[in-house]
Amino acid sequence: APEEKERLQAILATMSGEKRMLEVCAELGIGETRFHQLRETALQAALEAIARKPAGRPSLAALSESEQLRMQQERIEELELALHEAQVREEIALVLPQVVMTRSGEREPADRVGKKMRSQRVKIRKSR
């Protein structure tokens, strides 16, 4: 925002002694009282911006209430989607015949898969 930059440059110019306060007030079209308010606000914002802050991600307690609500709403939406997907998978499993895809990509009835797997088990000999 060009207007804000101009105001900040004017405030800094008075602090460095480049310009007089009355000159800047005339340029900005504001009174002395408003100038002092702007300068105080700018300095306070600068102080807050350079203040030490704890390292790392802020804890949930430090987050604003609206931010916490937004995060909780996102989590609810994720869980609702996961629930819906599970319900769809369950419906598909109930409607379709009991068919299982084998590792080779072939379709095989589920009751035969267990028998086939049992017959392919390898016996392990104990070493003496």
pLDDT tens profile 92-107: 888 776 655 555 556 5
Can you tell me the distance from the alpha carbon of 2 to that of 24, in angstroms, rounded to the nearest whole number?
A: 16
Q: Which residue has the tokens 């937004």?
A: 70
Q: Which residues fall within 8 angstroms of residue 100, CB to CB, at 6 or more apart?
A: 107, 108, 109, 110, 113
Can you tell me the distance from the alpha carbon of 47 to that of 54, in angstroms, rounded to the nearest whole number?
A: 16
Global pTM reads 0.43
pLDDT tens profile 51-103: 888 787 766 666 788 888 888 999 999 999 999 999 988 888 887 766 555 55
